[in-house]
Amino acid sequence: MTALSALQATLRRRVGRAMTDDAATDLLNEALVHISLEQNWPWMHTTQSATTDGTASITLATAVRSVESVTIGNDPYYPMSVGDLDSAAASGFGRRGYTIRDRTLTLYPTPGSGKTVTVRGLAFETVLSGASDEPLLPDQYVPILVELAAALWHEQDPQGNANAAVHEVRYQRLMTKLRRVATMDARPVLPSTRAGSLV
For residue range 18-52, what is the model confidence (pLDDT) as tens digits? 899 999 999 999 999 999 988 888 889 999 999 99
Mean per-residue pLDDT of the chain: 86
- pLDDT at position 165 is 80
Q: Within this chain, do residues 55 and 116 fall inside the same structural domain, yes or no?
A: yes
Q: Within this chain, do residues 169 and 115 fall inside the same structural domain, yes or no?
A: no
Q: List the 104-108 sheet strands across, edge first.
A: 45-53, 113-123, 64-72, 75-79, 97-101, 104-108, 57-59
Query: Left (φ > 0), alpha (ψ -120 to 50) or beta: where does 196 sit?
Result: left
Question: pLDDT for 115-157, tens place per residue?
Answer: 999 999 999 998 999 999 999 988 888 999 999 999 888 888 7
Binned at pLDDT 50, 70 and 90, residue 183 comes out as low
Supply φ then ψ for residue 35, to 5 degrees: -65, -45
pLDDT above 70 for 198 = no
What torsion, rounded to 10 degrees, do the Cα atoms 143, 123, 128, 9 define? -10
- pLDDT at position 174 is 83
Q: Locate the DSSP E strands across 73-176.
A: 75-79, 97-101, 104-108, 113-123
Q: Within this chain, do residues 132 and 65 fall inside the same structural domain, yes or no?
A: no
Domain boundary among 80, 100, 123: 123
Classify residue 195: in a domain, yes or no: no
Classify residue 198: in a domain, yes or no: no
Q: Which domain holds residue 61?
A: 44-123
- pLDDT at position 197 is 44
Q: Into how many domains does the chain fold?
A: 2
Q: Within this chain, do residues 21 and 115 fall inside the same structural domain, yes or no?
A: no
